């Protein structure tokens, strides 16, 4: 090995001097960032202060019975209602005590049946929520939310927008088999001079009126449930989903004028 090769090998074997690791300089939040956080916190405090003691409650947008319950007619067009019921005992325990409800089963001359429910809030805004929360808790699998436009002469502009959910649930049969039941749920929200199929829009109007007008809306939500009878698994040859939607749309046209306050 030559002298130059030895020098090269010694140089390679000698460790390189350690490089100093420079820690990055940490800076605190900028003045602009602090200002944004303070503004958000201040806005939250202001909103809470302005909405925590709302003194006025609007009139309901639905008709009431003499004892203050939401009115649900026993007759609408070709539909005849069954026994009138209210909130269940479980609902009374869970919901604010000034929450009210009215429900009936309805049947038309062709034998079609459906369920109609009205839940009316009191002063507490937590009385009303999206029906999806209850339906999933009852075992229903829900399809995507759709908004249907139903021609309704009594509605503003002659059209009522309602939210529609197609739902399925497994139902045990007497022979031990399990069948898939299909249903359509329609719902919409009614306030004083306001109607919407959207939960978010109800929340927006609620917050706006509480802040700007010191008013809490007594919202009602109307829910209609109709089963889709045609089912290959059970051999039921009733109406298809499309035909069922036409039936429930006819019910909406008939019941709507009986629900809304003048």
pLDDT tens column, 105-161: 999 999 999 999 999 998 877 778 888 888 888 888 998 899 999 999 999 999 999
pLDDT at 204: 92
Instruction: Kindly report whether the global pTM for this prediction surpasses the value 0.85.
Output: no
pLDDT tens column, 16-50: 444 444 444 444 456 665 566 555 544 443 444 44
pLDDT tens column, 202-257: 999 988 888 887 777 789 999 999 999 877 566 677 899 999 999 999 999 999 99
Q: What is the SS3 string spanning the chain?
A: CCHHHHHHHHHHHCCCCCCCCCCCCCCCCCHHHHHHHHHHHHHHHHHHHHHCCCCEECCCCECECCCCCECCCCEECCEEECCCECCCHHHHHHCCCCCEEEEEEEECCCCCEEEEEEEECCCCHHHCCCHHHHHHHCCCEECCCEEEEEECCCCHHHEEEEEEEEEEEEEECCCCCEEEEEEEEEEEEEECCEEECCHHHHHHHHHHHHHHHCEECCCEEEEEEEEECCECCCCECCCCHHHHHHHHHHHHHHHHHHHECC
* Domain residue ranges of the chain, discontinuous segments joined by +: 58-259
pLDDT tens column, 76-108: 999 999 999 999 998 899 888 889 999 999 999
Q: For residue 6, what pLDDT band results from cuts at 50, 70 and 90?
A: very low
């Amino acid at each position: 090995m030559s002298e130059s090769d030895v020098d090269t090998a010694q140089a390679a074997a000698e460790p390189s001097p350690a490089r100093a690791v420079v820690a990055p300089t940490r800076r605190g939040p900028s003045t602009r960032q602090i200002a944004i956080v303070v503004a958000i916190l201040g806005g939250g405090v202001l909103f809470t202060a302005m909405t925590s003691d709302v003194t006025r409650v609007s009139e309901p947008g639905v008709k009431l019975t003499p004892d203050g319950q939401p009115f649900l007619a026993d007759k609408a067009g070709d539909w005849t209602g069954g026994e009138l019921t209210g909130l269940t005992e479980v609902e009374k325990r869970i919901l604010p005590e000034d929450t009210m409800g009215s429900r009936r089963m309805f049947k038309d001359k062709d034998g079609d049946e459906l369920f109609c429910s009205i839940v009316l809030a009191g002063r507490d805004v937590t009385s009303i929520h999206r029906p999806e929360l209850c339906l999933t808790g009852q075992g229903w699998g829900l399809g995507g939310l759709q908004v249907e436009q139903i021609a309704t002469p009594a509605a503003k502009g002659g059209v009522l927008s309602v939210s529609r959910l197609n739902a399925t649930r497994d139902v045990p049969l007497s022979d031990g088999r399990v069948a898939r039941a299909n249903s359509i749920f329609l719902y919409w929200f009614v306030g004083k001079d306001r109607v919407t199929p959207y939960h978010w829009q109800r929340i927006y109007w609620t917050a706006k009126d509480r802040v700007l007008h010191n008013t809490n809306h007594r919202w009602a939500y109307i829910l209609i449930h109709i089963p889709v009878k045609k089912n290959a698994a059970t051999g039921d040859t009733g109406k298809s989903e499309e035909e069922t939607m036409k039936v429930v749309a006819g019910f909406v046209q008939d019941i709507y004028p009986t629900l809304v306050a003048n």
